[in-house]
Structure 1
Amino acid sequence: MSSEIITDSLKKIKTNGKFITKEELTSLFDNIVKELNQQKTSNDNKFSIEDIKDIAVTLHDVGDYEKYSISDLLNHQLFVILRDILTSLIIKLQKDENFNENETVASRYIGAIFTWLVSSVNDTNVDIFKTLLLNKTMIESIAQCLDNIATSGKHLDDLNILVLKYIVQALSSFQQAQKQFQDDFTLSVILNSVIKCVCSIYYLDVFKGIVVELLKLNSKQEFLLITCIEYITIYDGERIEEITLTMSESMFNYYLKIFEQFIPLIDEWNNVVIKAITNAAVLLQYISADDLPKLNFISQHVQLLDYAITILNSTNFFIQIDVNNDIADLIEFTLLYIFMLTLNSILLEHIKEKNLISVFLKFIKANNESIQFHSYRLLATIMNEDGIKSLSNPAKITEIFINYIERNIDNVLRKLRLQNTLLSLKSLIQHNSIKSEFVKQNGLPLLIRCASESKFDAIKVQQRALEILLALTFNEQAAVILKNDQIFMKRLKSPFNEQGVKKAAEGIVWRLEKEAQLIIQNENQQTFNKKEAAPLAHKYDIMISYSHSDKDLCYQLQERLVADKFRVWLDRDNLYGSQMQQMADAIENSEFIFICMSDTYKQSAYCQSEAHYAYERRCQLIPLKMIEKYQPDGWLGLIVSGKTYITFSASEFDKAYQKLMVEISHHRSQSEQNIIHGHAISHGNSDHVTDTSIIAASAEKVLSSTNQLATRKSEYCSKPYIEQWSKQDVLNFLNDMELHSMIPLCDKMDGRQLHKFYKSCDSNNDVMYHSLKAELLDLYKKTLPFQDYLRFLDELKRYVPSTTGTQTVASIICNMM
């Protein structure tokens, strides 16, 4: 029976409830502790478990946790006593000793009190919480109980497993709120033991023991399938790669067995089953985020993908997605798991073969921003350039990404979301329409913050942001904004500790300041060589431009070429330091540039920089497909257009290599013919080889003729369609609009050719601008102002017929007439 002093004190706490003052509560706590210590002295140094039970029940029922967590109260001896009592009961559980009724009640209520208390952790009380919760004796006893579960299933059928659930939840909430402690040695001990529980055969058995008619998870199901998964997946500390690789050894095979049992019953799933499957999806996407868990388990992921698609294709789930939060969570994490798979080139090709565009398109209509976000980024990953433009509103994709960055950029608890958003944006930003929208919607300042502020993770935030900005330098407006940001440019030139960050920063500086200078310098050198009428001597026969995701095949190619006495430049070590300069030197000094095409190649800003520089320098490009069914589009499609692709694969390597030798011989024979006919050549495309005096004369002739055409009447306005224009009409239009810089580029075009030219510019805006600018400089030694290029597109757009469905609608000018 409780002592009278304790009973009276608890009664006052109950009666006054949350209206009791901090001072009054402190005084009552003092009375309780004094009485407990007196009892302990006269009771073999033991507290009365009945009194402890009553104290725990009262504090829990009143539930004034915000007041309890005030530093003065939280630091009170009463909470230390409750912690020590809980520890002694966990040790008793560990030894498999039975609890009496008071001990059972006390342990559960104390555990619940600590779980709720942690929700009020803040900077003023965090040290008290650390002392209270990260007690060595308590942590070691909890870890031992968890290890017993993992090795023998012990405690799983014990009703007192609720004690473990509460304390694990409390520790989970603590490290989620205070990320600086998640790699604390004490918490690592618990994390290791929780991982063992989930990777044990008992996790699989408990999961498979669920029946679809179940109305509520029992204690062991709740603990293993929910509590333990939540504890693991909130961790994003230094050990994450080690943890995901360790868990992947067992979990992928477990989930294959689980889905094999449950997927055929999908129409019968209730919220209990859905919640368990959702947590499985949460863990699946968590351990699939890194490279090795995908690369080492390709076959398992292929099978799991089919199960994930079945979930997404459930009509019942789609109907309820906006009214059932459990279903919405299941869809969100299923989409997220599939997205993680797209980061592996092999799995990405497999996903593309599944024709999932229609599946993802339906989810962008869900009234759930997270589901929209994952759906859009999956679409952006698997669709080509034209597909992205065909979406109802490409601007919406960009808007969602910018909103996600804004929402997470200053929230330390959501740093993993920020990191994953930037990872997704690296894939998305390859599309020219997204680049333009990102600039239009003022997303650059957010990326500059991510790249510049020291509070962000160097690799997962700063480097990713810089790589996105590097890709954005291929958008003229973005390039101008970045170049004019003197603070940012100064930051890029400062020292960086991480090599990946340094490489990305150097790449941006190269693109914005150094590339154009080097192109002009090399153009002058090339002009001199042409005057000397001597072909260039190359240091290398071949420079291989590739994505490191395709390194195995490219290394095999390099080794074969070297064995056949070719001089090959390949960045096998992913060079840092002055990497961009070395890349440029390699391109300038190579006879052939191999463009090793794949999705990851197109998504890489570094690869785009290499290909773009080689293209502007008119190098001899030979495109190689690293994946059989890959079709280049966007900027890459433009660069390799009109060229013969050679498909390489491990199984058909020798056959592809022979084709490559034929292609090299063909190019060399053409070069020899050009020399025989008296033309000095470089390692550029022979189509562009012209004597400089002929270039100058041709340019002068074109420009002279345009002055005469300016006085002629512009009859093109009377023609209803641009394709009816003659060559004269085209020249008249350019003169009337004072687009003189475009005249050499459109020389000898009629209306039909001009229309095709316009469509190419409109669909590949930035890439075409850089290409035309280089061509005008190369052939006519003139510049192409970006303003003239934009005005050309705007003025011509009025004469271009639009298309609605299968019907062609007259141009704006035609309608006005």
Structure 2
Amino acid sequence: MMDVHISSEHQHSLTCKYLPASCFYCYVPPSQSLRSPISNVQSGVTSREPIQSNPTPDPYLYNQNQWNSSHAIRKSFETIPVSSDDNRIINFERFRSRKRKTYRHIDGTLSFKKSSPALQYYDTIDKKQQPQIVTVVNEFCHILQNRITTITAKKLTDLLDKLTPVMKNLFNSNDQEQQQLPILIDILNALLNVHATVLISVSENKFFSLLQTILITLLNQWRSLTYLPNDEFYVFRLIVKLLNILTHSNNLIPSGLYDSTLLETIANCITDIATSERFLDTKNKHQFRYFTHLIDAYTLYQESSKDRNQSNKDMFVKLLHPILQCLTSNQYIHIFMNLSINSNSMTATEKFFLLICPKFLISYKGSHLEQTMKTLLPVMLPQYLKILDKFVPSAHNWNLAMLRSIEHLLRIINHGADHSPTNAKLISNYLPLISHILKLINEPKFYNNLHPTLSNPVTKLINTSISFLVNMIKEPTILAHIKQSRVALSFLRLTSCQNEKLILNVYTLLAYTTHEDDMKSMQNSDRLLSTIVQSLKITLNGNSDQSTQMEQLLETLKGLVQHDQIKDEIIKQNALPFLLACTDELTEKALILLYEILWCLAFFEDIASSLSANPNFLDKILTISKDSNSMSMKRAVGGLIWKLIQEPAYLKKVEKQEEEQKLEAKEVSKTEETIIEKNGIKQVDTIETSNDGMTADTRSYQYDIMISYCHADKELTYKIYKFLSDQGFKIWIDMDNMYGPAMSAMANAV
């Protein structure tokens, strides 16, 4: 243990800031043998407690025989000038010592535990290594301390290049606790104070590969012991904090930290957590908390990889199955079912199972996503329904913990549903779950407390619920269930929210779930259309890539134009020219949706006339029909071609045929019939007949039955078709989506 004295070094140079009557303590090492390699960097701890000048040391605390190298407090002063640089150094050193030193301020004396490794590791280092380790570590920490705001990436790289081989040699020694960890703690503490942009610039330095090896060792030790000793835990904590700085600043993880061995070690830890309760002991809560921060760092990086190639999206796939084990474990269900609805805070265990694991799954967009959901949902949907059965009736009493947990549960169910029908098909067997979501949307506590930003937990829950329903209505069974629930007024209520994303999703639901009579009674249907069109214009003129929003707006409009009232509004608001202009601006899926909208509008006579009178538009769709390789595009423009060009020509042809048949029916045909009477005399009679006497029984038909169906019911329709065919019926059916020639065939069949 060492004593401290008041330093007077700064009194001559400090000029800008003053503190009230205080004392300034600095560490004075008692001997060279106990001096740290970074002893030239003096650590400071300030106390604002006034003390008497030249106090007499307490004999009990000040034992001259034991502390022969210590010094009494030498001087007090009224005011100490402190420069901004010195104040920064004091704060830096205060941070460094926070978890490593204990002190008690009694009569102006600062005491340290003699057993602290930080005060002993110098003696334990091999004498041959001392000069090199002392020099390199001392230089590293001293420079970072004094140039913390001005150090460049190049200078930090040079320092790390010198430091790394020295640390590797040190970590090859046998005494980890006494030699390696205290030094590493000082180095990591120094790095944590470097500006994030500089850290990002050096993140691929070999020093971070060394951290990977250390992290593997610590995680294996945690698995073995289910806890980490003090210094090991502190190193683990600092590495995780450093990793979080990188991911939160630039969505970056050093390449050494997605090493296969490290990921396997983390995966093993997660598996242990899923299958054993020994890691969930309250004594282990601090280690467990920083482990969740580690998973969160990987999650954040995974979220940022959504626009990267597929291989990057599968970078952390080794963690996916262990996370899935946690999400399907009995512990997940037990923790959720016992979560308090009144709580605003969550334990580390609750956060891990109910927030961190769901976040990792939700951030995964890789090649195993569909199979993952096929594995997860059949097992967990019954459990999710039980959870909602228990908690939804008390939704008006939910606090933050329950809001966040339910929101993450819904995001799990919804994950991948925008690209795959798997989720909706499975959920169609659990319609009470849909009813629970509709109840949440209709909860006054929620719809009366919506905010413009999704950072608000209530707004986030409602937005997730609405997004979930938008993906579910692609399944006919779920769409019919929502329509039967008559929730149009609930959806309309949400349009008063100021969050654009939420409103857009609500409009999509209104477009597909509103009954025709509800739409007719809706007083603001004109505003509904004008809002969609205006949003399309804004999105189209936006500088950034907003293809997803454009596609959703068009999807919404596609649902709306099925209603006659919206078709009328298209004419009234003169929106058709804008839609036609968009055919020159949009591509791919957005353009397909636009042509499908125009196809639907073409069944409205006034709009069909406008489109038919536009030769440029007709030429465009004819060209696309010939040149496009997309079947979806061919189908959309094929429907337009049929409706605008081929159907009018076909109707004229039919009309001409009917006229000819009428004329033929009016013609009288004469036939002669020779009759031989009983007396043998022949008599020739002339018989006049007209063709209008032909009955339906005398006509011949190519088909007995024509089947028209929704293509969402294709499988059921095929079974009906096969059954009737086996009974000998001649059936016309379009087993592919109808467009182009198939429409002509259908017309002929009719």
Distance 1:269 1:482 in 2: 60
1:60 Cα shift?
Answer: 3.2
Structure 1: 5+ residue stretches without partners: 453-457, 591-817
Q: How far 1:386 moved relative to its partner? A: 5.0
Q: How does 1:199-598 map to 2 (within 5 A)?
A: 199-286=328-415, 289=418, 290-300=420-430, 302-322=431-451, 325-385=456-516, 387-388=518-519, 390-397=522-529, 399-400=531-532, 403=535, 423-434=555-566, 436=570, 439=575, 442=578, 449-452=585-588, 464=593, 466-474=595-603, 475-476=607-608, 477=610, 483-484=616-617, 490-496=623-629, 499-533=631-665, 537-551=700-714, 553-555=716-718, 557-559=720-722, 561-562=724-725, 565-572=728-735, 574=736, 579-590=739-750
Distance 1:404 1:49 in 2: 59
Q: What is the number of residues matched between the two proteins?
A: 570
Shift of 1:422: 5.1
Note closer, same or farther for the CA distance 1:491–1:175 as it changes in structure 2 (3 Å cut): farther
Pair 353,506 (structure 1): closer, same or farther in 2 beyond 3 Å? closer
Instruction: For 1:5-44, list aligned pairs within 5 A.
Output: 5-42=136-173
Considering fraction of residues, name the structure with more helix: 1
Q: Which letter maps to 1:211? A: S
Query: Is 1:275–1:326's contact at 8 Å kept on the other side of the alignment?
Result: yes
**Separation in 1 of the partners of 2:477 and 2:574?**
29
1:635-650 equivalence runs, <5 A: none
TM-score for the superposition, normalised by structure 2: 0.67
Alpha carbons of structure 1 residues 317 and 565: separation in structure 2 relative to 1, 3 Å: same
Deviation at 1:440, TM superposition (A): 5.0
The CA RMSD over aligned residues, in Å, is 3.8
Show structure 2 runs of 5+ residues with no match.
Answer: 1-117, 122-132, 666-690
Alpha-carbon contact 2:326-2:332 (below 8 Å) kept = yes
Secondary structure of residue in 1 paired with 2:496: coil
2:271 is aligned to 147
Note the alpha carbon deviations across 1:340-365, whole angstroms, 9 max, x for none. 33322222222222221222221111
- SS of 1:211's equivalent? coil
Kindly provide the amino acid, as one letter, of the partner of residue 76 in structure 1: N
Which residue is 1:719 aligned to? none
Q: Which structure 2 residues correspond to residues 54-69 of structure 1 after superposition, within 5 A? A: 54-62=186-194, 64-69=195-200
Distance 1:213 1:186 in 2: 39
Matches within 5 A, 1:685-764: none
| 1:146-167 Cα deviation digits (max 9, x unpaired) | 2333344563444333344233
- What CA deviation, in whole Å up to 9, does each residue of 1:180-232 have, x standing for no partner? 34555442222233223212222211212311343311112112211221222
The whole-number CA distance in structure 2 between the counterparts of 1:500 and 1:94 is 53
Change (3 A) 1:102 1:413: farther
**How far 1:239 moved relative to its partner?**
3.9
Task: Rate the CA distance shift 1:503–1:38 in 2: closer, same or farther, 3 A.
Answer: same
Letter in 2 for 1:338: L
Distance 1:445 1:328, change over 3 A: farther
Report the 3-state secondary structure (helix = DSSP H, G, I; strand = E; otherwise coil) of the residue aligned with 2:704: strand
1:262, 1:295 → 2: CA distance?
25
**Distance in 1, Cα, partners of 2:330 & 2:637:** 48
**1:176 maps to 2:303:** yes
Displacement of 1:325 = 0.9
In the alignment, what sits opposite 2:125?
A: none
Give 1:162's aligned residue: 289
Cα gap change, 1:145/1:358 in structure 2, threshold over 3 Å: closer, same or farther? same
Deviation for aligned residue 1:588: 0.8
Q: Closer, same or farther in 2 for the Cα pair 1:212/1:411, shift >3 Å?
A: farther
Q: TM-score, normalised by structure 1?
A: 0.62
Q: What code does the residue aligned with 1:173 have?
A: L
Name the larger-Rg structure: 2
Deviation for aligned residue 1:530: 4.7
Q: Distance in 1 between matches of 2:582 and 2:254?
A: 35
The 1:295–1:24 alpha-carbon spacing in structure 2 relative to 1, beyond 3 Å, is: closer
Using the aligned pairs only, state the percent identity. Answer: 22
**Alignment partners' CA distance in 1, 2:615 and 2:288:** 57
Residue 106 of structure 2 corresponds to none
- Whole-angstrom CA distance in 1 between matches of 2:506 and 2:563: 16
Which has the higher mean CA deviation after the structures are superposed, 402-411 or 549-558? 402-411
Residue 132 of structure 1, CA deviation:
3.4
Aligned equivalents of 2:280, 2:310: Cα separation in 1? 26
Letter in 2 for 1:90: L
Q: Does structure 2 retain, via aligned residues, the 8 Å contact 1:405–1:421?
A: no
The alpha carbon displacement at 1:396 in A equals 3.7
- Other structure's SS at 1:546 match: coil
Structure 1 pair 313–528 and aligned structure 2 pair: CA distance change class (3 A) = same
